Copies of this chain bind each other. A is one copy, B any other.
Amino acid sequence: MSVTAAKGFTAAGIAAGIKQNGNPDLALVVNTGPRRAAAGVFTSNRVKAAPVLWSEQVLKSGQISAVVLNSGGANACTGPRGFQDTHATAEKVGEVLGRGAIEVAVCSTGLIGVTLPMDKLLPGVEKAAAALSEHGGEKAALAIKTTDTHHKTAVVSRDGWTVGGMAKGAGMLAPGLATMLVVLTTDADLTDAELDKALRDATRVTFDRVDSDGCMSTNDTVLLLSSGASGITPGYDDFADAVREVCADLGRQLIGDAEGASKDVKVEVINAATEEDAVEVGRSIARNNLLKCALHGEDPNWGRVLSAIGTTKAAFEPDRLNVAINGVWVCKGGSVGEDRDLVDMRYREVHIVADLAAGTETATIWTNDLTADYVHENSAYSS
């Protein structure tokens, strides 16, 4: 279902030959209207890929007619030539669809520092346009995979309207604002300002709290397109809730397919003085390599949780900290708590609760363990 679950969208995914192994590598998503309101959030990495710089310009009008996405090359750190290539891609899409290039968002993912094979990409756009279909969402989701082992889609339908989407991402997975490549579509009829608010509200507590490996991408992009084809304008809170649900679903899928990971780790920080404190502490725990190794070894090593908390500026007293791992309070009052041998670590999902005993705020960060497979995948493969 993916991006074509909502009415008013067509999509396609094809093999243009950008990837040397012949796998699908080019996706096209087209808004057939009647409306074309859109919103987007992008990486906060200051080294931004050419397609990010382009799509930020496109979004200034609050309208997107189509999104073209390629895997097999990030078109990041490619200089003026890279930006020209992105522009030429948008021009080509505009030409075959009979739209202006400035209505076409572009997303790329793959190796940094390599220019795209435009002799394959541009003919690929024609091939994708010819394959556009109201049932093309799955194929589009397949074509944006890089090291993902499976494609990621999510759909929420409510009273006559739908929000759906697709995502890719398996490494360099620690968005500062958005994450990876995500395209969301809806047939609900909303203004670009409403879409923007709903999207920012959702990504702040979903994608922005995914931190698999602490490495922020140069290409992260999340787009939300509205066709208005349902003819329905839902209440804002209801719509924002649906967008958040789709984002949370896709974010959870990203963590579940992270490179080399054997554990999905939910780090829940409770009783923080502020939400910012809770996020800072959660992220510090999520980025602690020693803890991530211990979790891989199914070792409920709460000492590494405390040493991670201790590096933050959050409000807390060391002798009031409590930590639970999979429901066992292994650390109480900053010292030894319940018997660590009671912790059952056999399952893929691990739940860490860090109680700061400093207030009432909370935040949850999702991360993964650190494994030899992650090292292998990222040392043997240039990505």
Contacts and interface: CB of A to CB of B under 8 A. Distances in A.
A310 B216 contact: yes
B293 A334 contact: no
A376 B176 CA distance: 30
Contacts of A303: 74, 76-77, 111-113, 218
From DSSP, what is the main secondary structure of chain A's interface residues?
loop
Interface string A135-176: 000000000000000000000000000000000000110001
B77 A214 contact: no
A130 interface: no
A21 interface: no
Contacts of A79: 319, 333-336
B382 A307 contact: no
Contact of A302 (B113, B290, B333): B113
A378 B294 contact: yes
Interface in A313-332: 316, 318-319, 321, 331
Contacts of A81: 335
Contacts of A113: 302-303, 306, 331, 335-336
A197 to B, nearest CB: 26
A7 interface: no
A290 B335 contact: no
A289 interface: yes
Nearest to A317: B46
Interface in A330-372: 331, 333-336, 370-372
B374 A293 contact: yes
A137 B336 CA distance: 35
Given A113-B302, A113-B331, A218-B307, A378 B290 contact: yes
A78 B47 contact: no
A379 interface: yes
A371 B81 CA distance: 36
Contacts of A74: 303
Interface residues of A, number: 68
A319 to B, nearest CB: 7
A296 interface: yes
Contacts of A301: 112, 382
A177 to B, nearest CB: 11
Residue from the set A213, A289, A306 with the largest chain B CB neighbour count within 10 Å: A289
A230 interface: no
A307 B78 contact: no
A311 interface: yes
Given A47-B334, A216-B307, A218-B303, 8 more contacts: A46-B312, A47-B307, A74-B303, A77-B335, A79-B335, A171-B290, A295-B379, A301-B382
Interface of A: 44-48, 74, 76-79, 81-82, 111-115, 171-172, 176, 213-218, 287-290, 293-297, 299, 301-304, 306-312, 316, 318-319, 321, 331, 333-336, 370-372, 374-380, 382-383
18 contacts: A46-B312, A47-B307, A77-B331, A82-B335, A213-B289, A214-B287, A214-B289, A215-B290, A215-B304, A216-B310, A218-B310, A289-B289, A290-B383, A293-B377, A296-B375, A296-B379, A297-B378, A301-B382
